[in-house]
């Protein structure tokens, strides 16, 4: 598959990007919802707002973002609130005790109520179905800040970071080692849009969704599955891992740790990758579990650049959907 064209000229000299027709007012629940050109646009706009924050400082004046959290979260709260306010808008955050989608209040009622007060919603929910229902009934854009099925804003920030470090994306090989979870799903969809080969190593029974893999392959994506982490990492340009236990799996933590221990990203595993391979993690990390200190603190680690770029990509998403 040929990769999309990503702007390669210096972002310091770049002119403001025109917003692509059709993005404004839409939802972003999945990277699969985006066309290759829309992914390209978000990554390039993210690079522009990072290089020229003042250029977009008043773009969202008069707009308000609601942040809905079904579980506490630091980074998503901080980055989305910063992204909105730095673009001139306002934010209101609602925590787990007030949200309770489908429990404290029907999802449909939440969706019909919020547009009377705010212009856009970012929801971090346990259930992807809740987000889909929220988007179905809301007359304003809904952004998936994380669900049990996908983490699109994270993956978009990740690919922006990889672009910064590798200067191109098409033809790169990304190895994902660990659990075939929500992050893996978004990375697979993103890889398909960007012409990146993705190799996923998981223990048997923990593979990414068969539907996600089938969709990606049908659309021309190069997705390789294995249960051998060394095979996945061999020749990779980037090695990515995530926590072994997340969201509603805490009761299984001890059992999962035993299953996933052979999938730890350590110095020995990284030696299978290219000499200039980078290490990636969406954070927070469980040091000593899915990754060793030696790897996450190495010169090859770009995890904090990923965290930084979440803010810039989220600002690009807000600008695009509210344009």
* Residue pLDDT, tens place only, 47-86: 999 999 999 999 999 999 999 998 878 899 999 999 999 9
Confirm whether 206 is a catalytic residue: no
pLDDT at 7 over 50: no
Find the helix or strand (DSSP H, E) in which 174 lies: strand 173-177
Find the catalytic residue in 48, 154, 264, 289.
Answer: 154
Task: For residue 11, name the pLDDT band (cuts at 50, 70, 90).
Answer: low
Q: Is the pLDDT of residue 14 over 90?
A: no
Position 7 in a domain: no
- Find the domain containing 93 and state its range: 31-151+309-321
Q: Which of 32, 47, 77, 124 is catalytic?
A: 124
- Rounded to whole angstroms, the Cα distance separating 232 from 272 reads 9
Q: Are 181 and 242 in contact (CB under 8 A)?
A: yes
48 is catalytic: no
Q: Are residues 256 and 143 in the same domain?
A: no
Tell which residue, 72, 215, 98, 240, has the closest CA to residue 161. Answer: 240
The CATH number linked to 141 is: 3.40.50.1370
Q: Is 124 a catalytic residue?
A: yes
Instruction: Given the residues 151, 185, 193, 281, select the one marked as catalytic.
Output: 151
Asked if 132 and 205 sit in the same domain, the reply is no
Residue in the structure block whose two tokens are 């660990």: 178
How would residue 18 be classed by pLDDT, with cut points 50, 70 and 90? Answer: low
Backbone φ and ψ for 45, nearest 5 degrees, come out as -65, -40
Question: Which of 282, 289, 300, 305 is flagged as catalytic?
Answer: 282
Task: Give tens-digit pLDDT for 207-244.
Answer: 999 999 999 999 999 999 999 999 999 999 999 999 99
27 SS3 class: coil
- Three-state SS annotation for 62-78: CCEEEEEECCCCCHHHH
Q: Which stretch, 4-18, 65-79, 102-116, 291-305, has highest mean pLDDT?
A: 291-305
- Residues 166 and 296 reside in one and the same domain: yes
The token duo for 306 is 């990923």
- Could you read off the pLDDT of 147-200 as tens digits, one per residue? 999 999 999 999 999 999 999 999 999 999 999 999 999 999 999 999 999 999
Whether 179 and 315 map to the same domain: the answer is: no
Question: For residues 230 and 211, what is the distance between their CA atoms, to the nearest angstrom?
Answer: 25
Is residue 55 annotated as a catalytic residue, yes or no? no
pLDDT of residue 6 exceeding 60: no
């Amino acid at each position: 598959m040929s990769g999309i064209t990503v702007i390669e000229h210096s972002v310091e000299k770049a002119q403001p990007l025109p917003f692509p027709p059709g993005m404004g007012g839409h939802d972003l629940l999945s990277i699969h919802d985006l066309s290759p050109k829309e992914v390209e646009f978000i990554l390039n706009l993210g690079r522009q707002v990072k290089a020229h924050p003042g250029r977009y400082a008043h773009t969202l004046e008069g707009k308000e973002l609601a942040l809905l959290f079904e579980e506490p979260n630091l980074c998503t709260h901080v980055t989305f609130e910063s992204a909105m306010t730095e673009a001139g808008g306002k934010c209101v955050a609602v925590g787990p005790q007030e949200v309770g989608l489908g429990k404290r209040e029907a999802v449909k009622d939440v969706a019909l109520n919020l547009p009377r007060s705010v212009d856009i919603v970012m929801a971090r929910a346990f259930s992807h179905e809740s987000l889909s229902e929220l988007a179905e009934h809301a007359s304003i854009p809904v952004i998936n800040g994380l669900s049990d099925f996908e983490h699109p804003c994270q993956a978009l920030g990740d690919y922006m970071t990889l672009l910064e470090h590798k200067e191109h994306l098409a033809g790169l090989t990304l190895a994902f080692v660990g659990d075939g979870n929500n992050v893996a799903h978004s990375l697979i969809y993103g890889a398909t849009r960007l012409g990146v080969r993705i190799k996923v190593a998981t223990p048997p029974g923990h593979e990414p969704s068969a539907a996600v893999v089938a969709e990606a392959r049908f659309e021309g994506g190069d997705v390789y599955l294995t249960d051998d982490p060394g095979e996945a990492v061999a020749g990779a340009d980037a090695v990515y891992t995530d926590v072994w236990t997340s969201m509603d799996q805490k009761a299984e933590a001890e059992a999962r740790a035993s299953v996933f221990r052979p999938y730890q990203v350590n110095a020995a595993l990284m030696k299978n990758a290219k000499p200039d391979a980078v290490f990636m993690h969406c954070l927070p990390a469980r040091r000593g579990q899915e990754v060793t200190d030696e790897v996450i603190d190495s010169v090859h680690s770009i995890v904090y650049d990923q965290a930084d770029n979440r803010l810039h990509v989220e600002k690009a998403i807000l600008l695009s959907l509210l344009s």
